[in-house]
Structure 1
Amino acid sequence: MNLIFLIVVQAFDKVWHPDLFKLKLFLPLSYYLIFKSYLNKRHVFVSLGIEYFSIFPLLAGVPQGAVVSPTLCNLYFTDQPINLNTQIAVYTDKKAIYATYTNPDIVLSTLQSHLNDLSHWYSPGASELIKTNLFTPPLHSNTKNLLRYI
């Protein structure tokens, strides 16, 4: 088994509200209305010294530190490409992609294929990915033992 750990740069800032609201088909109406009221009509006001600038609407981003923000971030990134030969674990801006084959060349090829798909999904102007680590656990590891490496 090989694992690749990824971090989505500025994931909380990249949640585009109009695209997030398209996911309403998958949510109960009450959740959708709560999330929409939470993000709707958010504005930013900028001042520099004694100068004040106009109020601008915020069309992207979820407040970091808010209880609901990780859920909104996870919802936004649900339509990422999948690869039938890999598994992926996601929590907001952190991802672990892993594949299990006895042949290491197949593992690396499979992981690279998944990374290529993700790089196309994260188009220019969208979030960036940073590969943080490629990890090969000891052969005797089972799923329970892997938790101590993560």
Structure 2
Amino acid sequence: MDNVARALLIFALVATVFWVFTIVDCAVQPPTRHRGVSKPVWIAIVVLIPVLGGILWLTIGRVRRSAVLVYQAPDDDPDFLGSLGGITDQDERIRRLEEELAQLDSEDDDPRWQDPPVGGTPDPGPTPRTDGDDDSRGQRGAVN
């Protein structure tokens, strides 16, 4: 009888360690490594069904790290590639840019935006002051 009690105690200890391990393992895994149901449901299964829940988690619910696809670059990720606009979006963007460039070119040809002709009326410049305080050279307050 003593051997049976000792075996049951060892089995209970191993089952408890296994149960705690599977709860922690299920809780720390990222959601991408859970198969079947969501992470909270797996935690509930493992907690409520101690040994059997842990066995189910390790055999069915957990995805091995090597099975998880790791994308190295954006062009390797099909979700990223799917989110990019199609060729029609790029063509539409190019067409709009070409229209804007053509409009800018037509503004360069518009006479309103050009410099006045070379033979036009010259700018008279600033008008000289004719106060009584100026000398003949236009300097103010100069003494003769």
- TM-score over 0.5 for the alignment? no
The structure in which a higher percent of residues are helix is: 2
The structure in which a higher percent of residues are strand is: 1
TM-score grouping bracket, smaller chain normalisation:
under 0.3
Which structure's CA Rg is the greater one? 2
Question: Scaled by the length of structure 2, what TM-score is found?
Answer: 0.21
